[in-house]
Amino acid sequence: MSNPAILVENVTVHYGDVLALDAASLSLEAARICGLVGMNGSGKSTLFKAIMGMIKPDAGRVLINGEPPAKARKAGGIGYVPQSEDVDWQFPLSVRDVVMMGRYGHQGFTRRASKADRAAVDLALDRVELSEFAGRQIGQLSGGQKKRAFVARGIAQGATMMLLDEPFAGVDKRSEATITRLLKELASDGCTILISTHDLHALPQLCDEAVLLMRKVLMHGPPEVVLQPEHLAMAFGLDVLNRDLPDSDLPDSDLPDWGFTDHAVSNPQGRS
């Protein structure tokens, strides 16, 4: 197939008077891992929503494998891993319940689980190494386990494309390595993975490519090129260059997590 897994063409989105995406374009081949880098308010979440078809762009279009997003959604191809603050961790559901939600698209009117559904859930839990925690209430997992539970939901769903919103926020180093390994395995199985983040530490080890977003796609290329400070400065504001940067043997040195949240462009939707 010659169609890219994700094609975003000149997508423009406004929230009221606020311009969230300005003719953003992006093309991503299947089975690649792509890191979407930008500060809060740069349009990362908006781009996700546009790819999932949750918001209709004012201009431009999105195609998933050459088809409109609605078709990919119906086919169960789009997996989504929400950022932690968007999840109610007190919600009375077990890890297994959450993973089972990945199967709903394949089930009948009442979403009654079949043997095949249960097998798919067991397999997904096993793959993310959460089988022993299947009966736990979701809030009783560690930060990394929480992320893996949602990745398992995407696996159980049979997603061919996974969107992860800030998967490394609140995750310790060890879990970060586990998640990185897991995502690489999924990609090698053909799953296309798009990760939104403003934490740059994990990107070079994880991603095949990186995208720099500031309402439009400023740059798209290999992570070691995109993450060079002079390029980051375009997305994060010029003052980055005036900060104490690590010596520039990038990407091997750990980049600081520049907490840009305070200059965030306000998000009129309340949730980023």
Partner 1 sequence: MDLFDILLEPLSYDFMVRAIITTALAAIVCAVLSCWLVLIGWSLMGDAVSHAVLPGVVLAYIVGAPFALGALVFALIAVTLIGVVRNTSRVKEDAAIGIVFTSLFALGLVLISVTPSQTDLNHIIFGNLLGVSIPDLIQVLVLGVVAFTILILKRRDLTLYAFDPTHAHAIGLSPKRLGALLLGLLALTSVVALQTVGVVLVVAMLIIPGATAYLLTDRFSRMLVIAPAISAVCSIAGIYLSYYLDTASGAMVVLTQGAAFAAVYLFSPRQGLIGTGLAKARRKKAVVLAA
Near partner 1 by CB under 8 A: residue from 29, 54, 172, 189: 54
Q: Which residues contact 55 (CB under 8 A, 6 or more apart)?
A: 13, 46, 49
Helix, strand, coil tally for the chain in percent (to 5): 40, 25, 40
User: In the range 56-75, which residues lie near partner 1 by CB under 8 A?
Assistant: 70, 73-75
Dist. CA 208–CA 188, nearest whole Å: 12
Residue 168 C-beta: closest distance to partner 1, Å: 19
Comparing C-alpha atoms, which of 182, 200, 169, 172 is closest to residue 272? 169
Classify 190 in phi/psi space as left (phi over 0), alpha (psi -120 to 50) or beta. Answer: left
DSSP state at residue 82: -
Residue 91 within binding range of partner 1, rule CB under 8 A = yes
When the beta carbons of 54 and 234 are compared against partner 1, the nearer one is 54
Q: Which two tokens stand for residue 178?
A: 């586990």
CB under 8 Å to 249, separation ≥6 — which residues?
A: none
- Pattern 121-150, binding to partner 1, x per CB under 8 A? ----------------x-------------
Amino acid at 94: S
CB of 42 to partner 1, least distance (A): 19
* Residue among 11, 20, 98, 155 that touches partner 1 (CB under 8 A): 98
Q: Which CB atom, from 91 or from 243, has the smaller least distance to partner 1?
A: 91
Grouping H, G, I as helix, E, B as strand and the rest as coil, residue 106 is helix
Cβ proximity to partner 1, 154 vs 204, nearer residue: 154
Q: Identify the residue among 104, 116, 221, 264 touching partner 1 (CB under 8 A).
A: 104
Which region, judged by CB under 8 A, interacts with partner 1, from 7-15, 80-88, 122-130, 246-254? 80-88
- The H or E element spanning position 11 is strand 6-15
Please say which residue, 52 or 203, places its beta carbon nearer to partner 1.
Answer: 52
List contacts with partner 1 (CB under 8 A): 52-54, 70, 73-76, 78-80, 82, 86-88, 91-94, 97-98, 101-102, 104-105, 109-111, 137, 153, 157
